């Protein structure tokens, strides 16, 4: 009887991992398709992989867009046939126990050199959609002082503006 319980527990646990692995694989594919759609300037595919209420946060502090605003901003780039090409070189996906929400972080090879993307995906009508994405520049710790000096004046002006709102 002990052996039967052990086997049943192993099968139950193992099948849960298989399901989780399959979901993570699907999420990886959605993210890869999303980046490829931008590289190929496929506007419909790119935005079709985002939820209707998606938010995109860019590298500039002023870049916080809802999906509609991000579409308006991006359309001219896609129309010219040259949006942006980001290739994931390292990615981690974390699945919520519900199996309906996941979050991720990735290092990206971009025209800006190495960047970090992070975000949230969720199931919408059975399909994984990007609901929140944050694109960040990476700065080596030993190089941060010159970057801070460069940002100091502009950021203090932006902070004052935001505090007044």
pLDDT of residue 3: 63
Q: Does residue 70 surpass a pLDDT of 90? A: yes
Please identify, in words, the CATH class of the domain defined by 2-164.
alpha beta
Statement: residue 8 has pLDDT above 90: no
Question: What mean pLDDT is reported for the chain?
Answer: 89
**Which of 10-14, 105-109, 117-121 comes out lowest in average pLDDT?**
10-14
Contacts of 157 (CB under 8 A, 6+ apart): none
The pLDDT of residue 15: 45
Domain residue ranges in the chain:
2-164
**Per-residue model confidence (pLDDT) at position 96:** 94
Share of residues in the chain with pLDDT > 70 (%): 88
Q: Quick check: helix, strand or coil at residue 1?
A: coil
Closest CA to 107 of 94, 92, 89, 133: 89
pLDDT grade, residue 11 (50/70/90)? very low
C-alpha 84/C-alpha 41 separation (Å) is 8
φ, ψ at 96 (rounded to 5°):
-65, 145
């Amino acid at each position: 009887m002990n052996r039967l319980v052990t086997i049943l527990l192993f099968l139950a646990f193992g099948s849960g991992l298989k399901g989780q692995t399959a979901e993570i694989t699907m999420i990886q594919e959605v993210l890869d398709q999303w980046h490829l759609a931008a590289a190929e300037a496929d506007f419909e595919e790119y935005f079709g992989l985002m939820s209707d209420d998606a938010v995109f946060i860019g590298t500039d502090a002023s870049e916080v867009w809802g999906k509609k605003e991000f579409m308006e901003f991006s359309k001219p780039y896609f129309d010219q046939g040259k949006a942006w090409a980001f290739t994931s070189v390292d990615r981690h996906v974390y699945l919520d126990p519900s199996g309906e929400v996941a979050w991720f972080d990735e290092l990206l090879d971009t025209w800006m050199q190495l960047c970090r993307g992070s975000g949230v995906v969720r199931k919408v009508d059975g399909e994984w959609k990007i609901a929140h994405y944050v694109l960040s520049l990476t700065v080596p710790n030993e190089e941060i002082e010159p970057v801070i000096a460069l940002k100091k004046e502009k950021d203090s002006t932006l902070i004052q503006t935001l505090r007044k709102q």
